[in-house]
Amino acid sequence: MSEVLLRTHGLTRSFDQFKAVDGVDLELRRGEVYGFLGRNGAGKTTTLRMLMGILRPDRGEIELMGQRVRRVRAAQKQRLGYVSQEQVFYPWMTALELGRFVSGFYPDWDDAAFRRLLRVLDVPEDRKAAQLSGGTRMKLGLALALAHRPPLLILDEPTAGLDPVARREFLDILREQVRREGQTALFSSHLVGELEEVAHRIGILHEGRLRYQGSLDTLRQSVRRVVLEAPPEQLPPGLSLVRRELLPEGREARVLFGEPEAWTASAFAPEAVESLSLEHIFLAYARRSDES
């Protein structure tokens, strides 16, 4: 198993009485794209802002590249590339001027790579940031984040607001960058399809809690739906409930999680057990109520 680059222990943050992030234990391994999946308001941005040292956690710890910290410090931030949901730049600077400005903060800045990224992502070099569309600003943010060659990229819904062509370019560049440079990326999104394309592993965040963390394949193999005429009182050993789904005519389906052996050992009739698309699995987790 590859080295863990980032780990959080019980990361928690409230706003007034509201717990936006509740005891999150993330684990990112070197060289992977980790898809951080959750609905609007699940707590993704709050988690990422804690990782970037922008927000202070109420509780919990962050272990970044082997160092345990309560709050990420400036020197550690140099090793992170961050693309936030709102890209805020000095509006009077052009892309090239911003590159020159940002390069001063990062010893590993690669100007040739920056210019190449601007070209590939179709970001005009000489227009002022204020004149760029929201999507183009997002792409400029990615180029700035990648050009200082950070070992870890933290991308907060970076494809929101991008058109399909730009989204494709963005995902291709991310995949290529991770493959070529061995970078690691934490990529938040509420779009299952795009994470399915780029992520090696995912974490599903729902109401501030991490409901699943692991590979997409394991998730697909572990979560299945069972349609039952008379649901049993007790679930077979090794299977746990993700969500109940009501079907027409009073029937009920249950979305369950379990290791392949638990599924094999269960006495469910094979025709009652269905595999699910990743979209369906995500919806089951995201609609899950604590009592289900």
Ligand X SMILES: Nc1ncnc2c1ncn2[C@@H]1O[C@H](COP(=O)(O)OP(=O)(O)OP(=O)(O)O)[C@@H](O)[C@H]1O
Positions in the binding site for ligand X (CB under 6 A): 15, 20, 38, 40-46, 190
Q: What is the separation, in whole angstroms, between the first and last Cα of the chain?
A: 33
Q: Which residue has the tokens 């394949």?
A: 217
Q: Smallest distance from the beta carbon of 11 to ligand X, in angstroms?
A: 12
Q: Which is nearer to ligand X, 46 or 183 (CB)?
A: 46
Q: Which is nearer to ligand X, 177 or 189 (CB)?
A: 189
Q: Which is nearer to ligand X, 53 or 258 (CB)?
A: 53
Q: Which is nearer to ligand X, 94 or 213 (CB)?
A: 213
Q: Which is nearer to ligand X, 46 or 266 (CB)?
A: 46
Q: Smallest distance from the beta carbon of 15 to ligand X, in angstroms?
A: 3
Q: Are 281 and 196 in contact (CB under 8 A)?
A: no
Q: Smallest distance from the beta carbon of 170 to ligand X, in angstroms?
A: 17
Rounded Cα distance between 198 and 82, Å, is: 18
Rounded Cα distance between 123 and 125, Å, is: 6
Q: Which is nearer to ligand X, 42 or 173 (CB)?
A: 42
Q: Which is nearer to ligand X, 11 or 219 (CB)?
A: 11
Q: Residue type at 255?
A: V
Q: Are 231 and 292 in contact (CB under 8 A)?
A: no
Q: Smallest distance from the beta carbon of 44 to ligand X, in angstroms?
A: 4
Q: Residue type at 163?
A: D
Q: Smallest distance from the beta carbon of 26 to ligand X, in angstroms?
A: 14
Q: Smallest distance from the beta carbon of 196 to ligand X, in angstroms?
A: 18
Rounded Cα distance between 3 and 64, Å, is: 12
Q: Smallest distance from the beta carbon of 206 to ligand X, in angstroms?
A: 10
Q: Computed from CA positions of residues 284, 285, 288, 291, in that sequence, does the dihedral angle turn out positive or negative?
A: positive
Q: Residue type at 186?
A: L
For residue 73, how many other CB atoms are within 10 A of its CB?
12
| Residues 58-61: contacts with CB under 8 Å, at least 24 apart | 58/12, 58/13, 58/14, 59/10, 59/11, 59/12, 59/23, 60/8, 60/9, 60/10, 60/11, 60/12, 60/23, 60/24, 61/8, 61/9, 61/10, 61/11
Q: Smallest distance from the beta carbon of 32 to ligand X, in angstroms?
A: 21
Q: Which is nearer to ligand X, 36 or 263 (CB)?
A: 36
